[in-house]
Amino acid sequence: MHPIRKQRLLIVLFVVLFSSAAVGLVVYAMRGNINLFYPPADVAAGKAPFEQPIRVGGMVREGSVQRSDDSLAVRFEITDFQASVPVVYEGILPDLFDEGQGAVASGRLNGDGVLVASEILAKHDENYMPPEVAEALEQSGYDHKGQPK
Amino acid sequence: MIPEIGHFALIIALCLALLLTGVPIWGAWRRNVAAMSLAPGLAVGMLVFVTISFACLATAFLQDDFSVKVVASNSNSLLPPIYKFSALWGNHEGSLLLWALILSVWTASVAMLSPQLPLLVLSRVLGVMGAVGVGFLSFSLLTSNPFERLLPGIPADGNDLNPLLQDPGLIIHPPLLYMGYVGFSVAFAFAIAALLGGRLDASWARWSRPWTNVAWAFLSLGIMLGSWWAYYELGWGGWWFWDPVENASFMPWLAGTALLHSLAATEKRGLFKSWTVLLAIFAFSLSLLGTFLVRSGVLTSVHAFATDPARGMFILVFLALVVGGSLTLYALRAPAVSSRVSFDWISRESLLLVNNVAFLVASLTVLFGTLFPLIMDALGAGKYSVGPPYFNAVFVPLMALLIPFMGIGPLSRWKRDSAARWRSELAIPAAAALLCGLTLPLLHAPYNPWVALAVLLGGWLVLGLARDIWWRVRGAASLRQGLRRLTPSYWGMVLAHVGFAACVIGVVATSQYSIEHDLKMGPGDSEALSGYEFRFKEVASVRGPNYVADEARFEVWQDGERVALLAPQKRRYLASGQVMTEAAIDAGLFRDLYVAMGEPIGDRGDWAMRLHYKPMVRWMWLGAIFMAVGGFTTVFDRRYRRQRSGARAATARGAQYAG
């Protein structure tokens, strides 16, 4: 074979090999590892799947946070003022997690409609509201700080 | 008054950048030596005026001039002076000014440190960099003026710098990162200049190689500092989150790594010329994309455009111009520079090709994962998030696939090599690496196959290099003489590859061996973690310059000996009322002990505590430092210096005949 053509073949082979490996990996990784955001109203309406990774965000309902006495287990409700989703979590909560503040919980819904969270995200500073949460609140007629409009 | 001077200097800098774009490129086109000779002066002038502007903003921050909007919203009179200074780039407007400053530093450096460049090439290169400067300076002036005043109604005090950013790591992280990001503009400018001139030969690669290496080294350091900062400052012991902002800096690094290796093939063998140009365009485009992602607010939400559509649109249009323009130029010019050089299947060229494809594919998969949520959101298909599992599942196997080839690379030969030679050269390193992989993980129970694999791969890289060095110094009279004969670019390569191996081992070992206990503890409690006993003594109140804190005091005991005192804090910053976790870390080469406070629980003085044991976590940062030092070392190679002698005469000649 002509050396230049052989070289081109080589290049094409490498590219095909690596990119098909990459596409395979991407497809495989995408199957289980992306999660979709649901406002609490959608969860209450049964639109969210059970036992699949999802995120739910809204305000932490006032008076809903209950801590265990002897472990780091905590239970609270996330609300968009239309519906509430109970969340259980065991671990350290972020610095700015508080009642009446915005938060996003990622985890899986169990059969009782409780979100078993593996991670809780709160805002990073006083003025920031997770954008999904702001939008979910907007839809139920509240501004991004959780005040009725 | 000072902010107005700064504003005015920035406008002058923009005018100089416009001239720098227009005049030298016109001169190169018309072969007008006078116009071309203006380029270095204009580049230095741009640096001077951007520096004045930067100094004015820094003065406003240091003097607490709260009539300037960015100072009022990002600084505070209680802030320690060093953080007042670094607050300059802790916000959108100031960090853009830093971007522009660093771009002018690179542009002026190219102008001053390239006496070997023909004037024709130099003027084109500086012209392209001037065009990038126009983009950023006008972005700064038109959409995000850092000198905007709050008049009337000057606030009595500022809003304070986000406490997360009040940290020594964050003083130097952004400048280093930008040095890397913006440094790729030099490689980009050389590529575009070569396309404009239609001459893509080995000399082009030789000119742009040291610049690219230095930019890459800075970027490595910047990314490493960001990871280290996240580790000790964010308070939960993670060091890489595949967060879009991190990916924004990591993608140019991946493309830049491919570019470094491709430039090697282009310089030494005149191969992959068009491909190298494409990579240079790609690396810089990813830098711009990173700036766009971080700066436009598109990451918080696609709809954040609505809050300030001008900024997002500006960068998007600029990005489209740069990418579209350079690709069009590439399409017009690249066929003219195709190579006629051939190489064998089994050769260093093929191995470099593997490197290129692997790093390019890696950066594309990271790009896909980063943009996927944005695309889906823009299409109204729902709010997805792509988390670390995706990136790990894609990225880790790709790198693992690359390392076997990477081990062969340094001792392979250009053009034609033989599998038999590789086998005989690498049989001993392979056996030794296998032995290390099988035995070394025994030191840490329980035996972990992933760590074994990482040690095997890392050992393969390091031992292959050792074999190569031995082979190279064998002929010399003494070992010392032989080592001295090796070139700086060779040492740079060795350092970077050893650093990569250290990174691989560090990442895998710390991911596999880390032990994390989150639990409730009261003073007097203790908890054992991998042979270390963490004794919680007391909680005390302490006061810092601009915060008050609860400080937990821990003693760590091992085998009846006290090995460390740890005092993590929970701070409340006075100006913003923001609460921050300050972790306490006892660092070591083989293990870190990490304690961070959660929140108080109940009324008996109990706290949620996070205790971590993290083996070999330092290795990945040390590895990154090795890579960066390697990148810097290559610049001292004699072949870059030799060209300087007598280059002045060639400059004038080049102006007449080159291109």
Residue carrying structure tokens 């580790």: B231
Split at pLDDT 50, 70, 90, the class of B337 is low
B368 interfacial to chain A (CB closer than 8 Å): yes
Q: How far apart are CA B57 and CA B89, in angstroms?
A: 10
**For residue B376, what pLDDT is reported?**
82
* Partner residue facing A33 (CB), from B382, B387, B398: B387
* pLDDT in the model for residue B655: 42
B652 pLDDT tier (thresholds 50, 70, 90): very low
Eight-class DSSP state of B252: H
- B536 three-state secondary structure: strand
The answer to whether B103 touches B181, Cβ cutoff 8 Å, is no
Spatial separation of the C-alpha atoms in residues B146 and A28, rounded to whole Å: 46
> What pLDDT does residue B338 have?
56
The minimal CB distance from B598 to the residues A10, A28, A93 is found for: A93
Q: Please indicate whether, in this complex, the C-beta atoms of A29 and B394 are within 8 angstroms of each other.
A: yes
Question: Between these two residues, B104 and B340, which has the higher pLDDT value?
Answer: B104
**Which member of B353, B386, B608 has the closest CB to residue A72?**
B608
Q: Do residues B396 and B388 lie in contact, with contact meaning Cβ atoms separated by under 8 Å?
A: no
B33's enclosing H/E stretch is helix B33-62
Which contiguous run of DSSP H or E holds residue B581?
Answer: strand B579-582
Q: How many CB pairs under 8 A join A and B?
A: 127
**Which of B346, B361, B370 would you mutate first to test chain A, the one with the most A CBs within 10 A?**
B361
Is A91 near chain B, with CB under 8 Å? Answer: yes
A15·B520 Cβ contact <8 A: no
Chain B: closest CA distance from residue A73 (Å): 10
Q: So what's the pLDDT on residue B342? A: 75
pLDDT (mean) for B85-97: 89
Q: Give the model's pLDDT for residue B308.
A: 66
Q: Are strands A34-38 and A54-60 parallel, antiparallel or unpaired?
A: parallel
Minimum Cα–Cα distance from B159: chain A residue: A126
pLDDT confidence of residue A143: 62
Whether the link from the prior residue into B523 is cis, omega within 30° of 0, is no
pLDDT at site A39: 86
A71–B519 C-beta distance less than 8 A: yes
- Write the pLDDT tens digit of every residue in B119-141: 999 999 999 999 999 999 999 99
Query: Is the pLDDT at B47 greater than 90, yes or no?
Result: yes
Q: What is the pLDDT of residue B387?
A: 79
Around B457, how many Cα atoms within 13 Å sit in the side-chain half-sphere?
Answer: 27
| Res. A28 pLDDT band, cuts 50 70 90 | confident
Cβ pair B24, B38 in contact under 8 A: yes
- Give the pLDDT confidence score for residue B214 in this predicted structure: 95
Contact between chains at A93 and B357 (C-beta distance less than 8 A):
no
User: What pLDDT does A146 receive?
Assistant: 57
Q: What percent of chain A has pLDDT over 90?
A: 9
Inter-chain residue contact A34 with B387, CB threshold 8 Å: yes
pLDDT higher than 90, residue B460 = yes
pLDDT for position B649: 43
Q: Which of B184, B425, B203, B365 is nearest to B287 (CA)?
A: B184
pLDDT at B44: 96
Average pLDDT over chain B, rounded to an integer: 87
Specify the range with the lowest mean pLDDT, choosing from A28-32, B103-107, B414-418, B510-514. A28-32
Q: Is A6 on the interface with B (CB under 8 A)?
A: yes
Contact across the interface for B384 and A37, Cβ inside 8 Å: yes
Instruction: Calculate the average pLDDT of chain A.
Output: 79
- Taking contacts as CB-CB distances below 8 angstroms, the residues of chain B near A135 are 301, 303
> Is A126's CB within 8 Å of B577's CB?
yes
Tokens standing for residue A53: 């990774």
Please answer yes or no on whether B385 and A10 come within 8 Å at the CB atom.
no
Give B533's strand partners.
Answer: B528, B557
Of chain B residues 498-537, which have a CB less than 8 A from chain A? 518-520
Min Cα distance A69 → chain B (Å) is 7
Q: What is the mean pLDDT of residues B434-441?
A: 89
pLDDT above 60 (res B502)? yes
Q: Do B602 and A69 touch (CB under 8 A)?
A: yes
Verify whether the Cβ–Cβ distance A11 to B384 is below 8 Å.
no
Nearest CA distance, A8 vs chain B (angstrom): 10
Residue A14: the pLDDT is 77
Q: What is the pLDDT of residue B549?
A: 93
Residues B472-500: tens digit of each pLDDT = 888 777 888 888 888 999 999 999 999 99
Q: What is the mean pLDDT of residues A125-144?
A: 65
Q: What is residue B114's predicted lDDT score, i.e. its pLDDT?
A: 84
**Cβ contact, residue pair B342, A4, below 8 Å:** yes
Instruction: List pLDDT tens digits, range B276-324.
Output: 999 999 999 999 988 878 776 666 555 444 456 677 788 888 889 999 9
| A44, amino acid identity | A
Higher pLDDT, A142 or B522: B522
The dihedrals phi and psi of B605, each to the nearest 5 degrees, come to 80, 20
When CB atoms are compared, the residue of A6, A15, A33 closest to B393 is: A33
Amino acid B654: pLDDT = 43
Residue B67 pLDDT > 50: yes
The CA distance from B142 to B422, in Å, is 59
pLDDT at position B74: 87
B300 and A37: CB-CB below 8 Å? no
- DSSP letter for each residue of B254-308: HHHHHHHHHHHHHHHH--SHHHHHHHHHHHHHHHHHHHHHHHSSTTT-GGGGGTS
pLDDT digits over B220-278, tens only?
999 999 999 889 887 777 888 888 888 999 999 999 999 999 999 888 888 888 889 99
Tell whether A14 is within 8 A of chain B (Cβ): yes
Nearest residue to A137 (alpha-carbon basis) of A35, A60, A74: A60
Q: Looking at beta carbons, which residues of chain A come within 8 Å of B391?
A: 29
User: Is some CB atom of chain A closer than 8 A to the CB atom of B340?
Assistant: yes
Reported residue count of chain A is 149
Question: Is there a contact between B614 and B510 (Cβ–Cβ < 8 Å)?
Answer: yes
Q: Looking at residue B651, what is its pLDDT?
A: 45
* A22, A33, A93 member nearest B390 (Cβ): A33
Minimum distance, in Å, between the CA of residue B234 and any CA atom of chain A = 10
Min Cα separation B259/chain A (Å): 16
- Mean pLDDT calculated for residue range B348-375: 90
Cross-chain Cβ contact A30/B383 below 8 Å: no
Looking at residue B285, what is its pLDDT? 93
Q: Does B416 touch chain A (CB under 8 A)?
A: no
**Please, what sign has the CA dihedral across residues B427, B428, B432, B438?**
positive
Burial class of residue B31, CB neighbours in 10 A (0-12, 13-18, 19+): middle
A36 in reach of chain B (CB within 8 A): yes
What's the pLDDT band for B650 if we cut at 50, 70, 90? very low
For the question of whether the overall pTM of this predicted structure is more than 0.80, the answer is yes
B385 in contact with A at a CB cutoff of 8 Å? yes
Quote the minimal CA–CA distance from A103 to chain B in Å.
14
pLDDT of residue B335: 64
Predicted ipTM of the assembly: 0.78
pLDDT of residue A20 exceeding 70, the answer is: yes
Peptide bond just before B152 cis, omega within 30 deg: yes
Put simply, the answer to whether A34 touches B385 (Cβ < 8 Å) is yes
pLDDT, tens digit (0-9, with 9 covering 90-100), for B554-605: 999 999 899 999 999 999 888 878 888 889 999 999 999 999 998 888 778 8
pLDDT, tens digit (0-9, with 9 covering 90-100), for B534-555? 999 999 999 988 899 999 999 9
pLDDT at B163: 82
Smallest CA–CA distance, residue A127 to chain B, in Å, is 11
Interface of B with A in 258-317 (CB under 8 A): 300-301, 303-304
Question: Residues of B with CB below 8 A from A69's CB?
Answer: 602
Q: Does A67 touch chain B (CB under 8 A)?
A: yes
Cβ-defined contact of A92 to B598 (cutoff 8 Å) = yes
The H-or-E segment that residue B515 falls in is strand B515-521
- Name the residue with higher pLDDT: B187 or B114: B187
pLDDT digits over B16-26, tens only?
999 999 999 99
Burial class (CB in 10 A: 0-12, 13-18, 19+), B239: buried
Q: Is the pLDDT of residue A125 over 70?
A: no
Question: Residue B600: beta bridge partners?
Answer: B607
